[in-house]
Each structure stands twice: as structure tokens, then as C-alpha cells.
């Protein structure tokens, strides 16, 4: 029996935002590894088995999935959003690089998904319409000093910034510190989008200025998008505003 490993993203939580390719990979798999709440989004058959683990066990999850695939099973590693954006695809690649030669011989398919910043941006307008970057505020896998230097660099460069993992019970201060750093560089009128649970029934979208950005507005289900100095807000009577970054930019002054 020949094993195979799929690494899929289910999107930000709305079933309509799971791609047909991901659904095909899920249908073809027999054993599923993932964070419990992500596995809960799947409607599995009786012949399909789930192996849930904590969200902080990415590398051990990847190793278990690779061992299972190497034994001949068709395995699916499940992420929310896109598996390649702060998710399981990198953990699987790390495990393959450090693992036995048999893992390098496996048929591995990484299936893209709709990541949180794309879902939030679509709900808000087009804030990613020009150059942008994505950053995680978690310092579990990189020093906070690196995060601070990157925030200053990308804000100075004029990039729109999408922040993942903005705040948690273990990291209650970092988003507020990030806003303070950005206020040193960006106009305080810069639009900030708090997009929580985009596309899900409990979705909340807020657009405020950088001056009024309150870290208490966010939780781990929130993606925060900070505009560039060129990002604009179109107010619409009786409708949510549209936030967009123009497609063109002039010469620096």
C-alpha cells in the first residue's frame, strides 16, 4: 500500500471558503491530524479517523502524520486558513528535512486555502491592493526584538501590515506595544481593521484610526490589518466603509 500526505487549509471557517481541491484531498484521506477545533470543521465518514492534538504541537503532529503516511496510509494534515501561512506546511517540511530518508520519498501535496488576511481584506474592501506583508506577533518561535525591528522596517517601507496571532492570555501586551511602535512611524490617521472570525456567524469587523486602535478589541481569532500612509477609507451612508490601498503610488518625497 502506497501512502500519501496531504496538507490542507480549510479556510477561515466559512465552509463556502474551503476550496474544491481541499475537499477532494479530504475525501481521499483516511487519517486526519490537526488541532481539535479545525478537525471539528470536517464532516468525516465512518472509515475516516481523526487524531486531534494541541495547537502548540505542530512539529510532533507533523512527525506523527509522516510516520503514518510512511506506513502506507493516506493522511491529511489539517490547518485553518492556508497551510503555508503560519501553519502546518512549514512544520511538515521541517520534519521531512530532519527526518528519515523514507519521509523524503513520500508523495506530499500541499493544498492552498483562503488565509485570514484575505478573508478580512475582502470583507473590508481592498486594503491589500498594493504592497503588503504578513507578520505573526507571537514570539514563541522568534525573539520579540526581531518582531519590533521588522515592524519598524515594514512601516517605514510603506507596506500594509497584516498581523496574525495578535494577542493571547499568555501575550496580553504585545499588540499594544506593536501599535505604539507603529505610531512612531505612521500617521495616526492610518486605518486599522480588526477582523474577527471573518465569514463566520460570529464575525466582527471594525475600522478605526491608528490613534484609536485598542488592543483589547482583538483576540486570537482576530486578524489585524494596518494600512499604509496611502490607504484610504470611503465612508458610505448606512453601509460599512470601504478600506482600500490604491494600486499606484508616486515617487517618495
Supply the mean pLDDT for the chain: 95
Same domain, 176 and 88: no
- Structurally, the chain folds into a number of domains equal to 2
Q: Over the stretch 154-165, which tens digit does the pLDDT of each residue have? A: 999 999 999 999
Residues 165 and 50 in one domain: no
Same domain, 218 and 124: yes
Burial class (CB in 10 A: 0-12, 13-18, 19+), 128: buried
Please check whether residue 89 is in contact with residue 18, taking contact to mean a CB–CB distance below 8 angstroms.
no
Q: What is the CA radius of gyration of the chain?
A: 20
Four-residue CA torsion sign, 167, 173, 179, 181: negative
Residues 144, 209 share a domain:
yes
pLDDT digits (tens, 9 = 90+) for 22-75: 999 999 999 999 999 999 999 999 999 999 998 889 999 999 999 999 999 999
User: Could you give phi then psi for residue 129, rounded to 5 degrees?
Assistant: -70, -15
User: Which of 75, 92, 114 is a domain's end point?
Assistant: 114
pTM of the model: 0.94
Q: Which of 114, 135, 162 is the last residue of a domain?
A: 114
The answer to whether residue 251 sits within a structural domain is no
Q: What is the mean pLDDT of residues 8-16?
A: 94
| Residue 18 counted as domain residue | yes
Task: Answer yes or no: are the C-beta atoms of 172 and 91 closer than 8 Å.
Answer: no
pLDDT at 173 > cutoff 90:
yes
Please report whether residue 252 resides in a domain.
no
Q: Is residue 212 part of a domain?
A: yes
Same-domain check for residues 90 and 123: no
Q: Which domain holds residue 164?
A: 117-244
User: Do 228 and 159 contact (CB within 8 A), yes or no?
Assistant: yes
For 19, the grid coordinates are 476550496
Please give the angle made by the CA atoms of 154, 244 and 186, to the nearest 5 degrees.
35
Residue 80 is assigned to a structural domain of this protein? yes
Element (H, E) at 66: helix 58-70
Yes or no: say if 19 and 113 are a contact pair by the CB < 8 Å rule.
yes
Report the CATH number that the domain containing residue 137 is assigned in CATH: 3.30.950.10
In the prediction, which pLDDT does 52 show?
96
Report pLDDT digits (tens) over 103-131. 999 999 999 999 999 999 999 999 999 99
Amino acid at each position: 500500500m502506497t501512502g500519501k500526505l496531504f496538507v490542507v487549509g480549510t479556510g477561515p471557517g466559512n465552509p463556502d471558503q474551503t476550496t474544491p481541491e481541499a475537499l477532494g484531498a479530504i475525501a481521499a484521506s483516511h487519517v486526519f491530524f490537526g488541532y481539535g477545533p479545525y478537525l471539528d470543521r470536517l464532516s468525516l465518514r465512518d472509515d475516516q479517523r481523526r487524531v486531534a492534538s494541541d495547537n502548540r504541537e505542530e512539529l510532533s503532529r507533523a512527525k506523527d502524520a509522516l510516520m503514518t503516511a510512511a506506513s502506507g496510509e493516506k493522511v491529511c494534515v489539517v490547518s485553518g486558513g492556508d497551510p503555508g501561512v503560519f501553519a502546518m506546511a512549514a512544520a511538515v517540511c521541517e520534519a521531512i528535512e530532519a527526518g528519515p530518508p523514507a519521509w523524503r520519498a513520500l508523495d506530499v501535496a500541499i493544498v492552498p486555502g483562503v488565509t485570514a488576511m484575505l478573508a478580512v481584506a475582502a470583507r473590508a474592501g481592498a486594503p491589500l491592493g498594493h504592497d503588503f506583508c504578513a507578520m505573526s506577533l507571537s514570539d514563541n518561535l522568534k525573539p520579540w526584538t526581531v518582531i519590533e525591528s521588522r515592524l519598524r522596517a515594514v512601516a517605514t517601507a510603506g507596506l500594509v501590515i497584516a498581523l496574525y496571532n495578535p494577542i493571547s492570555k499568555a501575550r496580553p501586551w504585545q499588540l499594544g506595544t506593536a501599535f505604539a511602535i507603529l505610531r512612531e512611524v505612521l500617521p495616526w490617521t492610518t486605518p486599522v481593521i480588526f477582523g474577527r472570525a471573518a465569514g463566520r456567524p460570529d464575525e466582527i469587523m471594525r475600522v478605526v484610526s491608528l490613534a484609536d486602535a485598542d488592543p483589547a478589541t482583538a483576540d486570537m481569532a482576530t486578524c489585524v490589518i494596518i494600512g499604509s500612509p496611502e490607504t484610504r477609507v470611503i465612508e458610505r451612508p448606512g453601509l460599512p466603509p470601504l478600506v482600500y490601498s490604491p494600486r499606484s503610488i508616486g515617487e517618495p518625497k
